[in-house]
Structure formats: C-alpha cells, structure tokens
Structure 1
Amino acid sequence: MMDEAGLRARKKAKTRRALVEGAMRLFAEKGFEQTTLAEIAASAEVSTRTFFSYFAGKEDVVFFDAEERLERTLAIVGRREEGESVALLLLRVVEASVSWEDDLAHRLATERFRLVMTVPALQARALHLLFESQQRMADALCAAYPDELDPVSAAAAVGAMVGAAKLAAVMSLAKGEPYPQAWAAVRRAAQVVASGLDSLSHPARETV
C-alpha cells in the first residue's frame, strides 16, 4: 500500500512539474494571454479536466510554489527559538527564502520575473498573494510572541521586512543584475529593517 501511495505521489508530482514546464515554455513562445489551458494540458499529455486537478488557472501555474514557500515560512515562525528576537526570526525567514533549493523555481526564475513585470493579470495575482501571505505571517508572528506583539506591531514588522526584501529584489532584477546579486540586495535590505525592529523586543505598550 505504501509503495502504491508513493508511486501515485511521484506520478502526481511529475504531472504537476510537466504542466508548469509546459506552461512556462508556451508563455515564453506565445505570450501569457495567447496561451490556452488546452495547450498547457496538451504539453503535459493530460486533459484540460486533469489540469484543473492541479491548478485553478493560468495565473496559479506561474505561482506554482507560492503556497509551499509560505508554509515553510510559517513553519519557521512557528518554531521560534528560545530567546530569539523578532528581528532575528524575520532575518532567518528571509535567509531561508533566498537559500531555498528548488531547481525548477531557480530555472524558471528569470522568465517568471519577466511575466510578472509585464502581464497585468499576473501583477494583480502577485499583489493578492503578497497581501494574503503577509496577513498569515503576521498572525503567526503574533502567536509566536504573545507577550511581546499585538496585531498591529506584528503587521508592521512583517510589512516592513517583506516589503523591503521584495522591493530590493525587484529593483536589482529590473537592472538586469544576476540572482546572486539580487539575493545580496535582499539580505542587505533585511538587515536595514532588522536594525529598526529592536523596539519590538519588549512587550507592546499602548500609547496615550
């Protein structure tokens, strides 16, 4: 039974990967708007109905790893180390994000960045995902520091760190800099933000 379950899981992962690779290739060749779901499904040798077993639409294919990345982030926040400050925890989150080993994500990174920067539908989807992920991160951070953070402080910390890291990456990549240089920019931006989060190492106090 376990072998059968493992085989099914590997088959599903293989199909999902084929859909992502086929879709990204078609987006590069034909354009995002011009590519149909039927074409994406055919590129992976599955039906359009099967496509919907993996993704809700074309936008979700581009952000194929968004939920997995967020779950990894929430797991890090949920395993806060004893005595670890908010700033240090968020720095660990950023470092884990830029160091994440995923060959498919790395290989498609340049094309994905180009798509997100040029396709309005993908820009809208990216903003939605960013807002949702920051909300969930702020909730997790608040739960990790129940005696130090209130919802507003947690939201401010997450917004500052994520916003700085994202913008640093975008500005670097928009200048045509290679990804290692972009990740260096992200780390530098994160350090700048962390230096300003020291006040969150103490219990939150209401101001009059």
Structure 2
Amino acid sequence: MSLRERKKRQTRQALMDAAGRLFDEQGYEATTVDQIAAAAGVSTRTFFTYFRHKADVIRTNSVERVDAGVAAILARRPGEAPAELLARAFDEMLAESWEMGLTAGLVGDAYKLPIFSPQATIDRSNARLERLAAALVGACGIDRMTAYAMVGAAIGAVSGTAAVSMSEGRTDEETLAETSRACRRALTGF
C-alpha cells in the first residue's frame, strides 16, 4: 500500500473512531459532523471527502467487509472447493472488520436510526447475500440455490457466534477464532 493510501486509510479510521466515541458519549443525534471532524483532527470538508452523511460512518464497515469477501472469492485458488473458498472469504471479511473496527459507530442511540429498521436491515442482509452468492456462482460454477444456502449458513454461523462470544466478554482474537471455526462447521455439509 502506498504512503498516500495508508494516510487516507488512517484519516478514514480516525473519523470512524472519533464518531464512535462521540456517538457513545453524547448520542448520535447530538453529534455533529463538525464535532467528528474536529475530534479526528481534520476539517469538515475532509469528512465529506470520506463520507456523504453522518450515517455513512455507521454503514461503512459492512460495505468494505463484503467487498473483501467478494475479492477473496474472485481470487479462487486452483482446485479450491466452494466451501473452503467461502470460509476463506469469511476469514477475509472478519479480518477487515477487526482492522476497520468492528463496532465503530455502532454505539449509543445509533441503532434507533431508520438505517437500522427491520426492513433496512433485511435489505442490507439480502444485498450482502446476493453479492457473495453471485461471486460464488461465478467463481465455482455451482448452482444458485446451493450458493445462497452456503452463504446463508455462513452468515448465520458467524453472526450468532460473534454475538455470543462478544456478550461473554471474549477478546477480539478469541471471537475471530470462534467465528472462523463456526463458519467452517456450518459449511461442512456442502
């Protein structure tokens, strides 16, 4: 990664970290873009270089996580079985989550926003499922039904395991290892 790219990534992460802290301290609604930018040590204009809206800070990890998974699937190794490929893609997605800060911006009253409504959550989940399953079909030539079943099983295993692990106070490293094992167990039947 070039120096410029590293600097951009650091600035983006600083904005996400600042937003998460401020949302937690004073609530989502009370936090302004100006405050987020100031806390990150950048201008408001710089904030808008990285995010269109304050809510984008909350959504950003999900998009980047799926991008990492799709990229891993499209980089399929010769002879790699679909289940192992998908498990490796989920490992990449989880690594991206931890690198970018899994819960950055997902604190305080942010969950009350319309972007976290049941329908919006379902829509985002379906979009993730569609992107990952389509990549799996393209990379492996498996049928669509199987691809959707595999991705659904992996998402369920990873989400459930991560929630339990974090609620039990396990470290990030332990949670990452547990979710990787759960994903592989869920994909065993494929």
Q: TM-score, normalised by structure 1?
A: 0.73
| Corresponding residue of 1:202 | none
| Corresponding residue of 1:91 | 87
| Corresponding residue of 1:120 | 112
Q: CA deviation at 1:76?
A: 1.3
| Corresponding residue of 1:155 | 148
Contact 2:24 2:108 in 1 (8 A): no
| Equivalent position to 2:189, from 180, 196, 202 | 196
What is the identity, as a one-letter code, of the residue corresponding to 2:133? A
| Equivalent position to 1:168, from 161, 165, 186 | 161
| Number of corresponding residues | 186
Contact 1:32 1:119 in 2 (8 A): no
| Corresponding residue of 1:135 | 130
Q: Matched residues in 1 for 2:150 and 2:109: separation?
A: 26
Contact 1:80 1:144 in 2 (8 A): yes
Q: CA deviation at 1:192?
A: 2.0
Q: Matched residues in 1 for 2:137 and 2:179: separation?
A: 24
**2:139 matches 1:144:** yes
What is the identity, as a one-letter code, of the residue corresponding to 2:171? P
Q: Matched residues in 2 for 1:34 and 1:141: separation?
A: 42
**Paired residue secondary structure (2:73):** helix
Report percent identity of matched pairs. Answer: 34
Work out which structure has the larger RCO, using CA pairs closer than 8 Å and 6 or more positions apart in sequence: 2
Q: Per-residue CA shift, 1:49-79, capped at 9, x if unaligned? A: 4422211223321344433332221121112
Q: CA deviation at 1:95?
A: 2.7
- Please identify the structure whose Cα radius of gyration is greater: 1
Q: Matched residues in 2 for 1:165 and 1:188: separation?
A: 9
What is the identity, as a one-letter code, of the residue corresponding to 2:172? Y
Give RMSD over aligned pairs: 3.0
Q: Matched residues in 1 for 2:3 and 2:81: separation?
A: 43
| Corresponding residue of 1:206 | none
Q: CA deviation at 1:43?
A: 2.3
Q: CA deviation at 1:114?
A: 6.2
Q: CA deviation at 1:190?
A: 1.3
What is the identity, as a one-letter code, of the residue corresponding to 2:134? D
Q: Structure 1 residues 137, 92: closer, same or farther in 2, change over 3 A?
A: same
Q: TM-score, normalised by structure 2?
A: 0.79
What is the identity, as a one-letter code, of the residue corresponding to 1:52? F
Contact 1:137 1:158 in 2 (8 A): yes
Structure 1 gaps of 5+ residues are 1-5, 198-208
**2:48 matches 1:52:** yes
| Corresponding residue of 1:77 | 73
